[in-house]
Structure formats: C-alpha cells, structure tokens
C-alpha cells in the first residue's frame, strides 16, 4: 500500500513542512483544533442527509484535519488528464446525439448507447450552446503509487461535493493561518467565479444581454440542499425550485416580486427524469412544464444538458480511453482501472471464479450502494452476489481490488493511514477550467476502501503546492 506521507520510512517531500509543524505543535494542540473545526462545521450547518437511513436528516460529514497534499508536478499531470477526459466525454456526447461516428467506427457498441436508460432521444440532433453537454465533470481518481493514478469513474450529470472543497479550505485557513503563510498552497476560492463564468459562457444564442443564471434545486429535503444554496449564494444568483419557474412564449421566467424575470441559464441539480413533466415523468412536481421545448428551440441553456448521463455510465466508462484516442488522437494521460464487463461471457466466467479478489459494481449504481468488495466480504455474501450477477450479467462490471493509497488521518487511536480518493471538478464552457484542488474523500474505518459519504466516509482538504 502506498502511503502518501511516508515512503521507505522517509517523509515524502510534499508532507515535510506539515509533519514538522505537527511535531512542533504536539497532540494536544491538534486535538484542540479538531474540536474547534467540528464546532465550526456545526455552526455553519454543513450537513449531508443520507437517503433511506432515517436518523438525523441534517447530519455532519466527518472532516479530517490533516490535509492531503500534491506537488505541483503531480497536479500538472492530473490537470492535463482530467481536462483531456472532460473534452473527450463532451465530444462523445455531441457525437452520439448527432452522427454517432464512434458507433459507426465500431468502437462503442450501439446497444450500450442507444438502449442505455440515460440516453435521451428528446435531444437527438439538438445543438447545445458551444456543443457542451457536461459542464461540470467530476472525475474520481485513485492512486496506487508515486506515479500511478487511475480514474475510477466519471460524473457528467451533477457531481456534488464541491462545497466541501471550498468549506474545508475555509476552515483550514482559520485553523492554521501559520501554515498558509509559510507554505505556498494554491487557492481554490476562485471556483464559484469560474463556475459563474462557465455558466455565462453557455448562454443560448437567443440571449441578448448579460445572462440571468439560476440554480435549480429539488428543495430543502434533498441531501445536497446545503451545497445548492451555498453555490447560489457564492455566485450571487437565485436558488429556485421548479414552482418558481414557468414557460411563456418560448422562454423561461422566474416569478419575482417585481413580476416575471427571464432566465437564460439553468444550473439544475435535479435529474433528467424530473426536469419537465410534459416531456419526462408526468408525476414530477420538481420540474418545469414545457422546459424541454424551450431548451430545444434554444431559448434556455441547461447545465448539465439533458442526456449527458449517457457518458458517465459504468459500462461506457470502459470505452473512455478509446474515445480519447478516437476523438483527440491522443493517448490517455490518466488510465482507467482494468475492468471486466460481466456482459461478456469470458469476463463473466473470470469474475465469478475470482469474486474474492474483485470489486463488483452495478453499472447504473452510484454512491457506493449495492457493490461487493471481494476481500472484505464473507463467503455467503459472495454466493448471494454471484446469483445477482448471473440473473443479469450486463448489469455488472468488476475491477481488481486496487491497493488505494492512504493518507494520515485522525482516528480514535491517534493518527493512522486511511484510504483516500480524489474528485477534482472540471468546468467546460468557452474554456476548460479546473480549480487547483478537489475533494479528497477518506474511508474512516481501518482497511475500508469505501469512501462515499453515504457509507460513513469523511473528507479532507486537498493542497496543491506551487513550484
């Protein structure tokens, strides 16, 4: 296992100043800081609800005080790799809703795209502004060695967690002003500004003024409501619900105390199925009746574009390196994790024979639900899971259990290494932008590889050092 702080009993370069500072401060100071940080989080009210678990709907995500650190060199590679991926994914989306060249070339199977539940026939042939579908791409990256980074999955719809990246930094700067003064850490607070620029840049052609932007939330009961209100607040735009918007004469308006006000760009945090009851689920009260018609006629931009989800499906994921080669004529900078597709007979056989060593996931699942972590599972769990796979092989993929890197983390017994992953947020509009940072998630239990907040994972601040 790669420990990002220590290698061969040597403190690795990016962590040296931090370790020196921690040793000079002593455990009491750190414990004191930890308590202070928790109080701050409670006070700000950063919470995350977990569906279907009952209990406190306004629960805190565990925040770990020890930052995860990348050198400038490491970051440059990640940045290039993430941008390359975001560009390829958007090109793929434009392609599958237009000429489908990649399918004609026999690189991606037609069924995987056209029979995909996330494929949206309603937007075939539509040109979204700047031909961008996924404006915020969250790429989940894991590390297994000093130079070894793998992409675990892409999130092309509405990746969440960026508010933690910003709030974690805010808390860290309050807790450790000395460190921020003496070290050269790239700032991340430009993210809301970059997001606003990106959203403005995708205003529809019909928009003839400074575009009016809104964040569309399903409402206060949603688990990520805090993030929705935080982003709206940071960008200085309205946070609206479906009932606040209406369609009239081919445009979208919001109801304000001064009367109807036109809306040009909607950063929606609700799923495709709910955005327009006339077009999708008729029982949805979260969306805006008629929105899709306006979108199709270029009266409003929607971020992410309806139908963008077809690119972040776990079955499509396996083809992303091929997409990069096909569209960009480049070799992928970041590798995929080798993946077996249970829909292929040979792969299925291998997976069933090696369940104990593999991580198996549902193709359409997310949030760490419904997966099998082979080495951590019992024989009975494996047998039960094998039955599920056999019932519908095409619904599952498997990957080797990677030796995820670990970072020092505060746990009950003191400071110990815990496994981490990393999600930077890439913005795609007139430019491709990436704030120097991202969300580091950490599995708080010893040996656990599951970092999802819905499964008890925590978060860390991520520092990118300057040269």
Partner 1 sequence: MLSRTADNLFWLSRYVERAENMARLMEMGYRMALMPAVGDGNRSEWESVLSASGCHAGYDPNAPLRQEEVANFLIFSRENPSSIINCFEAARASARAMRTAITAEMWDALNSSLMELRRPSMHNLAKNELPEFIDWVKKQGALFRGSTDSTILRNDGYDFIRLGTFIERADNTARLLDVKYYVLLPETSMVGDGVDNYQWTTVLRAASSLRAFHWVYRDDYSPYRIAHFLILNPFSPRSLAHCAEQITQHLERLARHYGQRHPVHGQSVEMYSMLTQSDMEEIFSTGLHGFLSDFQGRNRALSAAIAETYHFGGQ
Chain residues binding partner 1 by CB under 8 A are 43, 45, 219-220, 229, 232-233, 238-241, 243-244, 254-259
Rounded CA-CA distance 350/370 in Å is 20
**Three-state secondary structure along 133-163?**
CCCEEEEEEEEEECCEEEEEEEECCCCCCHH
CB of 40 to partner 1, least distance (A): 13
CB of 51 to partner 1, least distance (A): 18
> 317: closest CA among 297, 336, 304, 303?
336
In the complex with partner 1, the residue whose CB is nearer, 239 or 426, is: 239
Q: Is the dihedral of CA 324, 328, 332, 334 positive or negative?
A: negative
Q: Concatenate the DSSP letters of all residues of 415-461 into one string.
A: EEEEEEEEE-EEEESSSEEE-S--EEEE--STT-----GGGT-EEEE
Rounded CA-CA distance 277/264 in Å is 20
Helix (H) or strand (E) holding 52, with range, is none
CB of 221 to partner 1, least distance (A): 9
CB 327 within 8 Å of CB 91:
yes
Joined together, the tokens standing for residue 220 give: 């206060």
CB of 257 to partner 1, least distance (A): 4
In the complex with partner 1, the residue whose CB is nearer, 233 or 446, is: 233
> 3-12 burial, b for 16+ CB within 10 Å, e for fewer?
ebbeeeeeeb
In the complex with partner 1, the residue whose CB is nearer, 141 or 247, is: 247
In the complex with partner 1, the residue whose CB is nearer, 45 or 375, is: 45
In the complex with partner 1, the residue whose CB is nearer, 246 or 350, is: 246
> 37: closest CA among 4, 9, 11, 63?
63
Q: Output the CA–CA distances (angstroms, integers) from residue 91 to 97, 150, 222, 271, 420, in the order listed.
A: 10, 21, 31, 21, 30
Helix (H) or strand (E) holding 441, with range, is strand 439-442
In the complex with partner 1, the residue whose CB is nearer, 241 or 347, is: 241
Q: Is the dihedral of CA 188, 190, 196, 198 positive or negative?
A: negative
In the complex with partner 1, the residue whose CB is nearer, 54 or 329, is: 54
CB of 12 to partner 1, least distance (A): 41
CB of 217 to partner 1, least distance (A): 10
Pairing of strands 406-411, 10-11: unpaired
CB of 169 to partner 1, least distance (A): 21
CB of 258 to partner 1, least distance (A): 6
CB of 211 to partner 1, least distance (A): 18
Joined together, the tokens standing for residue 3 give: 């420990």
Q: Could you count the other beta carbons within 10 Å of the beta carbon of residue 61?
A: 18
Q: Output the CA–CA distances (angstroms, integers) from residue 225 to 61, 163, 220, 269, in the order listed.
A: 14, 11, 6, 9
Joined together, the tokens standing for residue 25 give: 């401060």
What 3-state class would DSSP assign to 133? Answer: coil
CB of 259 to partner 1, least distance (A): 6
In the complex with partner 1, the residue whose CB is nearer, 75 or 230, is: 230
In the complex with partner 1, the residue whose CB is nearer, 221 or 391, is: 221
In the complex with partner 1, the residue whose CB is nearer, 291 or 451, is: 291
């Amino acid at each position: 296992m790669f420990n990002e702080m220590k290698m061969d009993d040597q403190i690795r370069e990016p962590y040296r100043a931090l370790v020196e500072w921690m040793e000079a401060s002593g455990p009491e100071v750190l414990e004191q800081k930890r308590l202070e940080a928790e109080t701050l989080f409670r006070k700000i009210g950063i919470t995350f609800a977990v569906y279907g678990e009952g209990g406190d709907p306004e629960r805190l995500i565990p925040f770990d005080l020890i930052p995860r650190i990348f050198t400038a060199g490491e970051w440059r590679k990640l940045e290039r790799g993430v941008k390359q991926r975001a560009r390829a994914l958007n090109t793929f989306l434009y392609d599958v809703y237009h000429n489908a060249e990649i399918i004609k070339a026999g690189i991606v199977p037609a069924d995987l795209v056209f029979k995909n539940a996330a494929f949206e026939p309603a937007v075939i042939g539509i040109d979204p502004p700047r031909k961008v579908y996924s404006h915020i791409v969250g790429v989940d990256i894991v590390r297994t060695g000093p130079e070894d980074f793998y992409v675990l999955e892409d999130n092309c719809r509405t990746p969440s967690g960026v508010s933690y990246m910003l709030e974690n930094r805010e808390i860290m700067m309050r807790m450790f002003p000395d460190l921020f003064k003496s070290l050269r850490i790239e700032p991340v607070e430009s993210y809301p500004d970059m997001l606003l620029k990106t959203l403005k840049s995708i205003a529809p052609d019909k928009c003839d003024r400074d575009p009016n932007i809104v964040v569309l939330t399903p409402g206060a009961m949603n688990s990520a409501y805090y993030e929705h209100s935080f982003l709206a607040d940071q960008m200085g735009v309205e946070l609206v619900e479906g009932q606040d918007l209406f369609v009239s004469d081919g445009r979208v308006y919001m109801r304000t105390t001064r009367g109807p006000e036109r809306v040009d760009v909607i950063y929606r945090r609700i799923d495709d199925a709910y955005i327009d009851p006339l077009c999708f689920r008729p029982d949805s009260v979260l969306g805006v009746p008629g929105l899709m018609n306006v979108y199709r006629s270029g009266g409003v931009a929607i971020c992410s574009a309806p139908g963008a989800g077809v690119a972040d499906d776990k079955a499509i994921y396996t083809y992303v390196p091929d997409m990069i080669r096909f569209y960009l004529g480049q070799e992928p900078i970041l590798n995929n994790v080798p993946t077996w597709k249970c829909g292929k007979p040979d792969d299925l056989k291998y997976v069933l024979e090696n369940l104990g060593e593999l991580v198996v996931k549902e193709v359409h699942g997310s949030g760490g639900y419904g997966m099998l972590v082979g080495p951590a599972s019992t024989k009975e769990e494996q047998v039960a899971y094998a039955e599920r796979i056999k019932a519908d092989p095409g619904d599952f993929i498997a990957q080797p259990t990677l030796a995820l890197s670990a970072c020092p983390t505060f746990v009950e017994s003191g400071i110990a290494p815990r496994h981490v992953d990393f999600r930077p947020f890439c913005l795609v509009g007139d430019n491709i932008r990436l704030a120097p940072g991202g969300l580091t998630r950490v599995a708080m239990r010893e040996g656990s590889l599951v970092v999802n907040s819905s499964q008890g994972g925590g978060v860390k601040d991520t520092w990118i050092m300057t040269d």
